[in-house]
Amino acid sequence: MTRLAALLEKLIEEPGNFSPKVDIIDYSNSLKILVELPGVEKDNIKISFQNNLVTISGQYLDPERNYVNIPETQETINERQTDINYGNFSRKIYLDFNITSIGGINTKLENGILKVIINKNLQTQNTFSVKIND
């Protein structure tokens, strides 16, 4: 990815979201996208495709916080340092080819790394999402 493309990608991020780190490896017949998502469960990840745009989004909840029922008498918490990104995330990746068919796409979440492998020879005209394989 060129430096200009990386800067443009940062500009199109939606407000309030964080953007996970990504590696993209380009093979002759396929493309491998590796997304760093430690602690995120596969049910909290959405992968969608629209023409030449891949969007990987979801939510990473802090396991130390109770998001549903916070008691009114809860002890005051002072966070001393917060480097870990929690909340919604989104990463948009523009490809140099159109991908609009579910066939030939493999996904797997393992050890905090989401792997998306895309066959470059897919050709149709729909928008779709895929589930992460076990």
Q: Look up the CATH number of the domain holding residue 26.
A: 2.60.40.790
Predicted confidence band at 74 (pLDDT cuts at 50, 70, 90)? Answer: low
pLDDT number for residue 103:
74
- Whether the pLDDT of residue 94 is over 50: the answer is yes
In which band, very low, low, confident or very high, does the pLDDT at 9 lie, cut at 50, 70 and 90?
A: low
Q: Is 44 exposed, middle or buried (CB count within 10 Å of its CB: 0-12, 13-18, 19+)?
A: middle
pLDDT band, very low/low/confident/very high, at 16 (cuts 50, 70, 90): very low
Q: How many domains, the chain?
A: 1
Among 67-76, 78-87, 92-101, whose mean pLDDT is lowest?
A: 67-76
pLDDT exceeds cutoff 80 at 55 = yes
d(CA 75, CA 20): 32
In a domain, 76, yes or no: no
Q: Is residue 30 part of a domain?
A: yes
User: Is residue 130 very low, low, confident or very high in pLDDT (cuts 50, 70, 90)?
Assistant: confident
Residue 75 lies in a domain: no
For the ranges 17-21, 34-38, 79-83, the maximum mean pLDDT occurs at 34-38
Domain membership flag for residue 24: yes
**What are the backbone dihedrals phi and psi of residue 8, each rounded to the nearest 5 degrees, phi first?**
-65, -40
Cβ proximity of 96 and 115 under 8 Å = no
Q: Report the chain's mean pLDDT, rounded to a whole number.
A: 78
Domain assignment present for residue 16? The answer is yes
Answer whether residue 77 is part of any domain: no
Residue 91 counted as domain residue? yes
The pTM (predicted TM-score) of the whole model is: 0.72
At CB < 8 A and 24+ separation, what contacts does 64-69 make? none
Domain of 110, in residue numbers: 3-63+84-130
10 inside domain: yes
d(CA 34, CA 117): 9
